[in-house]
Amino acid sequence: MDALVIGAGPAGLMAAEELAAAGRQVVICEAKPSAGRKFLMAGKSGLNVTKDEGSAAFLAAYGAAWLEPILRDFGPDQVKAWCRALGQDVFTGSSGRVFPVAMKASPLLRAWLSRLGSAGVELRLRWRWMGFQGDGWQFDTPQGARVLHPRVVVLALGGASWPRLGSDAAWVPWLRDKGVEIAPFLPANMGFGVDWSPHMSRHFGQPVKGAMLLADDLRERGEFVISSRGIEGGGVYAVSAPVRDGAALAVDFLPDVDGAAIAARLARMKPGETLANRLRKLGLSPAAVALIMEFGRGIDPGRAVKALPLRLTGPRPIAEAISSAGGATQAALTESLELRALPGVFACGEMLDWEAPTGGYLLTGCWATGRWAGRAAAR
């Protein structure tokens, strides 16, 4: 066998495409019954393929200088051109997020798998990697145990989030035994738990819109949702890394209004009015008012509107997270994403130790590292 790719997610499929384009005979082994299961799930509410913004801002979102050459090689412009080459036109929303016109992931995946098949790439489903057997790669398959001996291998095994879709990190001990340094996995882009008082139950499922979330020096404007388990949603995910690592989280419910103006408006209201009524007169939604009543006791109302501290119990479990931090470290890899401890073996996608927010960054990072590893493996 010429080239083996393990994992049929976005990173693995991109690596296979590059290997095939270089004339290599490529086999993809995927543990699940179909390819791209997490990719399809991520696209259910609208497939966000990348973020159309300046290069400096785009690269800064990853917080990893070692990824910059890879992301410059396959960034937002290249992602858009690649989608269009598959017959899937894209558009840029007002926030800079880029979506296929079809919005869903399935048309893009179908077109991509068809192109890979035409290029001679073989996809073997329900082939689960089970570690090493001597110098071979052992698989559990519908036909029983099999051992493969490819010339090069690209690992696109995913991280540790959404294990039911395939990213279960089962590969970690096998690579550690071979001397690969792997940073512990942590949840990323996840919600946080809250021990709500009973009166909050009627607000479960309600969004809080137009707010700004504050975590250390980070200021992120975005919507989040009150759930029975805590808070979740895009706004929370954008600040989840520093909050996970110990930063306090606060909310500014009226980011476009100066604090002094809010204090003046509150001062002009009737002294006998309830706090809830006064907050509603500021234009706050019922969900926002409920949060201030939940967490703002003893805090000046004006300050509570501009910087309400939220009492969190901690991040939600990694199995519920959109992505994960941790994985094969930069020190474990060459500049070509080859594992130093395993010459001829390359790694890409979420199994690498990088972290980025939602909003197109995750998917572009997977495609970019898959492309980089595939090209290096082909060489």
Tens of pLDDT, residue by residue over 94-140, are 889 999 999 999 999 999 999 999 999 999 999 999 999 999 999 99
Q: Which two tokens stand for residue 254?
A: 């009226």
Question: What confidence score (pLDDT) does residue 67 get?
Answer: 96
The per-residue pLDDT for 271 is: 82
| DSSP result, 282-316 | TT--HHHHHHHHHH-TTS-HHHHHH-EEP---EEP
Tell me the two tokens of residue 62: 């990853």
pLDDT greater than 90 at residue 272 = no
> What local confidence, expressed as pLDDT, does residue 30 receive?
98
> What's residue 50's pLDDT?
97
The kind and range of the H/E element at 26 are: strand 26-30
Residue 63: pLDDT band with limits 50, 70, 90: confident
User: Is residue 193 very low, low, confident or very high in pLDDT (cuts 50, 70, 90)?
Assistant: very high
**Helix (H) / strand (E) containing 38:** helix 37-42
Buried b (16+ CB within 10 A) or exposed e, 76-114: bebbbebbeebebebeeeeebbbbbeeebbebbbeebbe
Answer yes or no: is pLDDT of 4 > 90: yes
Query: What is the predicted pLDDT for the residue at 12?
Result: 98
> Would you state the pLDDT for residue 1?
82
Encoded tokens for 342: 């395993």
How far apart, in Å, do the first and last CA atoms of the chain sit? 16
Burial of 166 per CB tally in 10 Å (0-12, 13-18, 19+): buried
Answering whether pTM is above 0.95, one says no
Question: What is the mean predicted confidence (pLDDT) over 56-72?
Answer: 94
Least confident of 74-83, 168-177, 188-197, 214-223: 214-223
**Can you name the residues that pair with 141 across neighbouring β-strands?**
144
Domain 3-187+318-378 has CATH 3.50.50.60: yes
**CB-based contact 53:92 (threshold 8 Å):** no
In the predicted structure, residue 237 carries a pLDDT above the cut 90: yes
Per-residue confidence (pLDDT) for residue 265, from 0 to 100: 94
What is the reported pLDDT for 170?
96
* Residue 109, both tokens: 């995946």
Does 46 score more than 90 pLDDT? no
Q: Where are the domains of the chain?
A: 3-187+318-378, 192-315
pLDDT of residue 45: 78
> What average pLDDT does range 317-333 have in this prediction?
96
pLDDT in tens, 240-257: 999 999 999 999 999 999
**Residues of the chain above pLDDT 70, percent:** 100
Token digits for 80? 């858009």
Asked if pLDDT for residue 294 goes beyond 90, the answer is yes
pLDDT of residue 121: 98
